[in-house]
């Protein structure tokens, strides 16, 4: 699905294009003011001056300046604020979206949505009786019950405190696994992107810098995310063992064991782990007599100077996946590290999330 939009507003110009997968979550990520929300509003048909290209489910929503009216687009839109009807109960708020779709066109089931979002106990409450996280779950449920062909989410957790974010993120992860429609998720939170996104569109100054699988974009040394102070990499693997005595979980990634603080997922479950570049140490030999639980055999893919003076950023190949390590230039020089070297990545179990 091709997405392209151009829009001029004052001194700002949006000229963004990317490919949107037919299912899964595509995160649009970048600093404040880079054009993320403007792009989402264009996709929703809320910018009458926009020029663009957008076809969804075989229907042309935008062709040049010709734009299908927003109310005729099969989309769900979840804003930063829940914007629920204050005079209606949760159930009636949800049925507002449900009734907009003819029974023959409903692809999202009422009971399935209630269960996925944990809304059953809330149905008789009013919005002012809900926490911030609960209100956003209701807003998301209302959007889903319109059976949209495209779901747009504009920083849905930005206005929530840390407890409310922690409450709603597991529901979003569950939806991620269950939804069979494209979702565009705008965020400036790297934590949300790490946990939720399949694809990542990285924006700056109204343009798309790059896009691709989230794990790869995060570790590209020619892109700014890898050089941020909190740079992280993603590893995907399968839960293979639960050590109840030590409260640890073994996850196998590319044939190697990664031990982490105990996870709730059962054996055989695929999981996503995040590892910060600052928590990855490099050794020329396997670690022995050390408190570090994880010693992974890796190969140096690339090295690059980091914006911080005296630091070096290193991309490490673990099979088909990539880790990042940030070390000092002195350490790189003492170990004589170069691309192609086989080394060991040492990672504390408590540093993997």
Contacts of 87 (CB under 8 A, 6+ apart): 126
Closest CA to 352 of 221, 236, 187: 236
Using DSSP's 3-state secondary structure scheme, residue 9 falls into: strand
What DSSP element (H or E) covers 302? strand 294-305
List, for residues 197-237, the tens digit of each pLDDT value: 999 999 999 999 999 999 999 999 999 999 998 999 999 99
Please give the Cα distance from 153 to 144 (Å, whole number): 11
Give me the pLDDT at residue 173, please: 86
Total Cβ atoms within 10 A of residue 303: 18
Q: Report, at the CATH architecture level, how domain 232-351 is classified.
A: Beta Barrel (2.40)
pLDDT in tens, 125-159: 999 999 999 999 999 999 999 999 999 999 999 88
Nearest to 96 by CA among 132, 137, 139, 157: 139
pLDDT value of residue 350: 96
Instruction: Say which residue, 81 or 42, is predicted with more confidence.
Output: 42
Provide the token pair at 255.
């044939």
Answering whether pTM is above 0.85, one says yes
- Which of these CATH numbers, 2.40.37.10, 3.40.50.300, 3.30.70.60, 3.40.1550.10, describes 2-218? 3.40.50.300
| pLDDT tens for each residue of 280-328 | 999 999 988 889 999 999 999 999 998 889 999 999 999 999 999 999 9
In this predicted structure, what is the pLDDT of residue 232? 95
The confidence score (pLDDT) of residue 261 equals 96
Distance, CA of 271 to CA of 176 (rounded, Å): 13
Which sign, positive or negative, has the C-alpha torsion 161, 118, 20, 23? positive
CA angle 310, 315, 319 (to 5 degrees): 160
d(CA 70, CA 148): 12
What distance in Å separates the CA atoms of residue 168 and residue 160, rounded to the nearest whole number? 10
For residue 317, the cross-strand partners are 299, 322
Q: Can you give the residue ranges of every domain in the chain?
A: 2-218, 232-351
Average pLDDT, the chain: 94
Indicate whether 80 pLDDT > 90. Answer: no
Could you tell me if residue 254 is left (phi over 0), alpha (psi between -120 and 50 degrees) or otherwise beta?
left
Q: What is the pLDDT of residue 194?
A: 92
Residue 106 is predicted with a pLDDT of: 85
Q: CA 90 from chain center: how many Å? A: 27
Q: 263-284, pLDDT tens digit by residue?
A: 999 999 999 999 999 999 999 9
Query: Among residues of the chain, what percentage have pLDDT more than 90?
Result: 80
Banded model confidence at residue 163, pLDDT cuts 50, 70, 90? confident
Residue 254 phi, psi dihedral angles, 5° rounding: 50, 40
Q: Please state, as a whole number, how many other Cβ atoms lie within 10 Å of the Cβ of residue 261.
A: 13
Which pLDDT value is given to residue 56? 95
CA dist., res. 27 & res. 183, Å (int): 8
Please, which pLDDT band fits residue 82 given cuts at 50, 70 and 90?
Answer: confident
CA distance 160 to 136: 9
pLDDT of residue 272: 94
Instruction: Give residues with Cβ within 8 angstroms of 190, minimum separation 6.
Output: 29, 225, 228, 230, 232
47-64 pLDDT, tens digit each: 999 999 999 999 999 999
DSSP code string of 228-282: STT-EEEEEEEEEEEETTTTEEEEEETTEEEEEEPPSPPTT-EEEEEEEGGG-EE
Q: What is the mean pLDDT of residues 181-200?
A: 92
Q: How many CB atoms lie within 10 A of CB 345?
A: 24
Distance between CA atoms of residues 125 and 254, nearest Å: 47
The confidence band for 177, taking pLDDT boundaries of 50, 70 and 90, is confident
């Amino acid at each position: 699905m091709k997405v392209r939009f151009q829009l001029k507003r004052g001194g700002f110009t949006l000229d963004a294009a990317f490919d949107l997968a037919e299912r899964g979550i595509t995160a649009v990520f970048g600093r404040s003011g880079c054009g993320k929300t403007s792009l989402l509003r264009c996709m929703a048909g809320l910018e009458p001056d926009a020029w663009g290209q957008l076809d969804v489910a075989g229907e042309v929503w935008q062709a040049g300046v010709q734009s299908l009216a927003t109310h005729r687009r099969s989309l769900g839109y979840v804003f930063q604020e829940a914007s629920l009807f204050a005079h209606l109960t949760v159930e009636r708020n949800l049925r507002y979206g449900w009734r907009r779709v003819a029974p023959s066109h409903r692809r999202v089931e009422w009971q399935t949505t209630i269960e996925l979002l944990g809304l059953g106990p809330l149905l008789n409450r009013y919005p002012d009786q809900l926490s911030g996280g609960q209100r956003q779950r209701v807003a998301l449920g209302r959007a889903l019950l319109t059976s949209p062909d495209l779901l747009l989410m504009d920083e849905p957790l930005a206005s929530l405190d840390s407890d409310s974010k922690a409450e709603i993120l597991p529901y979003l992860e569950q939806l991620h696994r269950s939804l069979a429609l494209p979702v565009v998720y705008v965020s400036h939170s790297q934590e949300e992107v790490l946990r939720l996104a399949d694809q990542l569109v990285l924006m700056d100054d109204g343009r798309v810098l790059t896009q691709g699988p989230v794990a790869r974009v995060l570790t590209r040394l020619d892109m700014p995310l890898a050089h941020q102070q909190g740079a992280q990499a993603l590893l995907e693997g399968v839960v293979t063992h639960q050590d109840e005595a030590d409260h640890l979980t073994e996850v196998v990634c590319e044939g190697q064991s990664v031990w982490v603080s105990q996870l709730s997922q059962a054996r055989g479950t695929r999981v996503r782990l995040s590892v910060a570049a600052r928590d990855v140490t490099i050794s020329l030999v396997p670690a022995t007599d050390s408190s570090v639980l994880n010693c992974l055999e890796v190969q140096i893919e690339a090295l690059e100077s980091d914006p911080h003076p005296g630091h070096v950023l290193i991309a490490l190949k673990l099979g088909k996946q990539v880790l990042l390590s940030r070390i000092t230039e002195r350490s790189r020089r003492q170990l004589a590290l170069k691309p192609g070297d086989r080394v060991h990545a040492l990672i504390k179990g408590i540093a993997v999330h």
